[in-house]
Amino acid sequence: MAVTTRTPLIAGNWKMNLDHLQAVATVQKLHWTLKDAGHEGDSVEVAVFPPFTDIRSVQTLIDADKIPFALGAQDLSAHDSGAYTGEVSGAFLTKLGVKYVLIGHSERREYHAESDEIVNAKVKAAIRSGLVPVICIGETAEDLERFGASAVPADQLAKALDGVSASSDVVVAYEPVWAIGSGQAATPSQAQDVCAALRKVLASALDEDAAARTRVLYGGSVKSGNIASFMREPDVDGALVGGASLVVDEFAAIVRFEKHVGV
């Protein structure tokens, strides 16, 4: 596999929290907290994923104040346009300056019955629109006991990448469902084992170069106290952070994992 440098990505998924005024205040505070702490932003990419109603306000602030955060969306339609009431096209998101979009998050799979086929269609829709899909995969506690640690995530990723070009830019986010919001994260070695297996899937589904350049994130009860231990692992390239991303000081400390603990 080719040797490459992957810039760490720390992504905050706000889920259904913060209205557009709260979103602006949160981004401003996060920016100044990181700036006051001496974080330059060159070595770690920061992305925020606000609700749809906040995106325009956050994008305007980021552009006006030249804040070095990437903007993400939490979902998109598998369709580019048409009679699909309530859905949001990838083309609309691109026009708003969105760079990343979450696809296949466990909450979408569980609460909205999103199948592997829907996830695959949304990955392709994101790529068509010039967005970078953040493909979320992960196993439940039942899956873990029945199939082992990497079987279900690897299968989900292979199906999500079916028909995707090797030249496409994607991000993979491994979120063990049993760890999300539980306070009980996977161990760094558990995360590494699964992320290494996912990189093998990338090599098989795309190619070796794609596997080497693609960032694989860990998510699931990530906090400032454990992020550095995950980032020491060779196949963990960042984190998809849920609840902790709503607490500015905590999320800023996660972003600054290189400084506050060291790797």
- What are the residue boundaries of the structural domains of the chain, listed by start? 9-260
**pLDDT at position 220, please?**
85
| pLDDT, tens only, 214-254 | 999 999 889 999 999 999 999 999 999 999 999 999 999 99
| Residue where the block lists tokens 């068509």 | 128
**pLDDT at position 182, please?**
64
Under 8 Å CB-to-CB from 144, ≥6 apart: which residues?
Answer: 176, 178
Q: How far apart are CA 224 and CA 244, in angstroms?
A: 9
Give the residue ranges of DSSP H helices in the chain. 20-36, 55-65, 90-95, 106-111, 116-128, 141-147, 151-160, 188-205, 208-213, 227-231, 248-255, 257-260
Q: How far apart are CA 157 and CA 224, in angstroms?
A: 28
Under 8 Å CB-to-CB from 124, ≥6 apart: which residues?
Answer: 78, 163, 164
Q: Phi and psi (nearest 5°) for 233? A: -75, 140
**pLDDT at position 181, please?**
66
The structure tokens listed for 186 are 């996977």
Helix, strand, coil percent content, the chain, rounded in steps of 5? 45, 15, 40
Enter the pTM of the model. 0.95
The structure tokens listed for 200 are 């093998």
Q: Which residues are catalytic?
A: 105, 175
The answer to whether 210 and 169 are in contact (CB under 8 A) is: no
Per-residue pLDDT of the chain (263 residues; tens, 9 = 90+): 444 689 999 999 999 999 999 999 999 999 999 999 888 777 999 999 999 999 999 999 999 999 999 999 999 999 999 999 999 999 999 999 999 999 999 999 999 999 999 999 999 999 999 999 999 999 988 888 888 888 999 999 999 999 999 999 999 999 998 777 666 778 999 999 999 999 999 999 999 999 999 999 999 889 999 999 999 999 999 999 999 999 999 999 999 998 754 44
**pLDDT at position 177, please?**
84
Q: How far apart are CA 248 and CA 252, in angstroms?
A: 6
**pLDDT at position 37, please?**
87
Paired with 173 in beta bridges are 136, 217
- The letter for the amino acid at 20 is H
For the domain covering 9-260, report its CATH number: 3.20.20.70
The structure tokens listed for 244 are 């902790």
Q: Phi and psi (nearest 5°) for 118? A: -65, -40
Burial of residue 208, with CB atoms counted within 10 A of its CB: 0-12 exposed, 13-18 middle, 19 or more buried: middle
**pLDDT at position 179, please?**
74
Q: Phi and psi (nearest 5°) for 113? A: 55, 40
Give the 3-state secondary structure of residue 49: strand
